[in-house]
A and B are shown apart, each in its own frame.
Chain A
């Protein structure tokens, strides 16, 4: 058999299902449970084509019973299996949160490290297509806030594959969030920067290593997921005005690569944290705080700027939603603001 060393351009959805398929071939203990993940291939195509390859014993459509099948993933993992469970929209966490944060996230700790739970929980996040307040949230910060889950938030196909491989091979629970608006679906507008060359061979992207999505010297923009794509576009806009922005893609929130953020802000002296999750008590505050705690060595040229969804649910109507979720234009404006203000 010839070594497959080629690289093709894949959408993020194709990259995720390829990673799952390759890991399932490598390791018979990997299987997938979720709603509409079989014939449908996942509502957002994360399991496209897998049923035909692996059959219904390993690609298992479930009833609409998230507590039962996510709890079952925990139970099966404790027995040595490596389940992947899909929560169709992260917004549905309310019906199964107990099994996620009281059991999946805590049992390893409460067993003194003696119970291993290699579960990948994957879920769709994000708005931008007018699905309103119950189907548009990001919520990764909610799960990063609580101990016991590794939090993965890819922004493009290359990372999506490598991070999924790492997630499946990890012996801990991993919550993997894919943004609907970068999956490259044929029925939803997406940011084309998320569709990238992807090697055919399996490879792992390690957790806790941020990626410099774009180098720059004036402003550091920290983001994850779809917001990385917006930040890159915003940086290109800003460049026309002579602003050089560096975009840091965190890739994982737990573990968090604080050093890469600090290093970049140390270089630029200006920080914009742009996020599609809620602004209050979330990722933007966390990143701002980690810089704030390093002000003994980092010299800021301007006060930190944060963009996120303010304290409102995601509204339905198009102009309302676009005003609520930070857009490319908002990021450019924020960068301009950083260049024209200074610290006291």
Chain B
């Protein structure tokens, strides 16, 4: 046993491409400890999203082992993988992926509904999460009435409300302007420090990178460089 929340051993992922196969990840060996604020950086097609999908139990490795929160992703049933995502992992997407017919409150509440949390505790947790991201006053707004930055903050609140051990953020600033990019990464950094949640980003945004404690450079599905950033 170790303190790592994610352990990847020789993780390989191949996708069928016509009659051949495309190797998206090639023997990746990585681990992420509790409370890390790490980023996967690399050009398009380097395997960032595929790696996040495997860590997030949305996909399984073709070869190798991915142990996330002490669970072997390749061995999980659909139900076990869903439970792992529901309780242990939060997702933040580039396009926010908010449920359009729900209010901000309903969107954030959703994960807790799946956890069958009692109503009073749930409401308290949702309002707390919205306060973390500064959107408590927009609780009853529809996502369509929010700006891109606000939508991404709702997505952060939705990922954080269940206090997961890991948050996976796939290009979270790609659709945002500079000011909003700084704002949301600062918000995530603050939550990382306050709640000791492990954040793993996929990004090629310089503005995000400057906040990261660790940058893993991927190229052609392989780890090119794994760099710890010493913050002053």
Chains A and B are bound partners: no
- Using a CB–CB cutoff of 8 Å, the interface residues on chain B facing chain A are none
